[in-house]
Amino acid sequence: MHSQLALIERYREYLPITDATPIISLGEGNTPLVKAVNLHRLIGASGMKLYFKLEGLNPTGSFKDRGMTLAISKAVEAGARGVICASTGNTSASAAAFAAKAGLKCYVILPAGHVALGKLAQAILYGAKVIPIEGNFDRALELVREIADDCQVTIVNSINPYRLEGQKTGAFEIIEALGQAPEYFCIPVGNAGNISAYRRGFKQWWQSGKIAKAPMMFGFEAEGAAAIVQGKPIANPETFATAIRIGNPASWQEAELAANESGGLIDSVTDDEILHAYKLLAESEGIFCEPSSAASVAGLIKQLKAGSVLPDALVTCVLTGNGLKDPDSALKSSQVDLTPVKAEAKQLVKAMGL
């Protein structure tokens, strides 16, 4: 059965693997591409063919698994003693899970001030060694780079070149599901690796003649962390969409090129716009994504209003992570009256508003 092949096995001819590469898989990829039935009408584009790529249904709950399966497989092939990353969130969860299956030690280094236990629950349960340091995130990443070689541990932060190569498979799956590329492709931009990876995927299959046209790439930063849009690093990025709260994106250049050469753009959306899209996805399509994921839909709404996206187009929005990663945002963004009612039929029907 198609879906039971490991992701990098399925696309091996497009990836840097050989028969000698041991494939470490958790059932990643092959995520649903779901068609909107309500949301496009609610944003004034009833003729739009709008699809959501549900990357939160990957094994550890985010798109990171696509790149991590390749990064960890290559680390095993290279004979690494373990893997290491500086991360407070989705990267650490993904790294720890694949390392567990591979039988490698996993070290997660993070700034002592940013230890949110809920976000680390996955890495901890998978058995990673989590080490807070007395310094900020940049210092954590610096230390990771400093010690990796000597310790024979492979860095699996996004500077690992295999991460983006694995992530480009998302583009292949979208093309296979639609039978063509979408006209417009919308995606959140934080570290800017994902938009770069999808561009690689679309470009590769366009150049090999599998699609007639590659999509216009639209990337959306959060306004409080919009380094690329503002043309300069942001010292203290701030946004409700924590997974894209990054002030100096690692893949800045490649992301800008992806947008420019495809005829798209990189823009920003406000926290209010992200929150609105986040709730709209849940209430009108039954999709619960991470707040940051909703930046793709918030951006689509903005570009539609601006006339940069045509209302009857074929559009794909990537929803990068699972809303279950951040239940607090769901509760904070909803007002709900939980006053108990009497356990009687009449009272209940009244409370239901019927």
170-189: which residues touch a copy of itself (CB under 8 A)?
173, 176-177
CA atoms within 13 A on the CB side of 273: 21
Question: Which residues, in sequence order, are CB contacts of 234 under 8 Å at separation 6+?
Answer: 224, 225, 226, 227, 247, 248
Query: Taking CB under 8 A as the rule, does residue 3 contact a copy of itself?
Result: yes
Query: Quick one: which segment of 189-197, 293-301, 302-310, 334-342 binds a copy of itself (CB under 8 A)?
Result: 334-342
Token reading at 285: 């399509």
Query: Taking CB under 8 A as the rule, does residue 263 contact a copy of itself?
Result: no
Sign of CA dihedral 226, 229, 230, 231: positive
Crossing angle for the helix pair 90-102 and 64-77, to the nearest 10 degrees: 40
Site for a copy of itself in 41-70 (CB under 8 A): 54, 57-61
- Least distance between a copy of itself and beta carbon 271 (Å): 17
Strands 49-54, 265-269: parallel, antiparallel or unpaired by DSSP? unpaired
Size of the site for a copy of itself (CB under 8 A): 89
- Least distance between a copy of itself and beta carbon 150 (Å): 8
User: Is 102 or 186 the residue whose CB approaches a copy of itself more closely?
Assistant: 102
Site for a copy of itself in 7-46 (CB under 8 A): 25-27, 30-34, 37-38
- Least distance between a copy of itself and beta carbon 300 (Å): 19
Query: Taking CB under 8 A as the rule, does residue 4 contact a copy of itself?
Result: yes
Site for a copy of itself in 266-295 (CB under 8 A): 279, 282-288
Considering only 13, 19, 20, 150, the residue that binds a copy of itself (CB under 8 A) is 150
Token reading at 48: 């739009």
d(CA 317, CA 340): 39
What is the b/e burial string over 56-82, where b = at least 16 CB atoms within 10 angstroms of the residue's CB? bebbbbbbbbbbbbbbbbbbbeeebeb
Query: Quick one: which segment of 215-223, 253-261, 296-304, 316-324 binds a copy of itself (CB under 8 A)?
Result: 316-324
Token reading at 191: 């570290």
User: Is 231 or 353 the residue whose CB approaches a copy of itself more closely?
Assistant: 353
Site for a copy of itself in 86-145 (CB under 8 A): 96-101, 103, 107, 109, 112, 115, 117-118, 121-122, 124-127, 129-135, 139-140, 143
d(CA 136, CA 151): 22
Crossing angle for the helix pair 169-178 and 193-207, to the nearest 10 degrees: 60
User: Is 44 or 127 the residue whose CB approaches a copy of itself more closely?
Assistant: 127
User: Is 147 or 265 the residue whose CB approaches a copy of itself more closely?
Assistant: 147
Query: 187 pairs with which residues across the strands?
Result: 219
Residue with tokens 């990643």: 28
User: Is 30 or 191 the residue whose CB approaches a copy of itself more closely?
Assistant: 30
d(CA 120, CA 112): 13
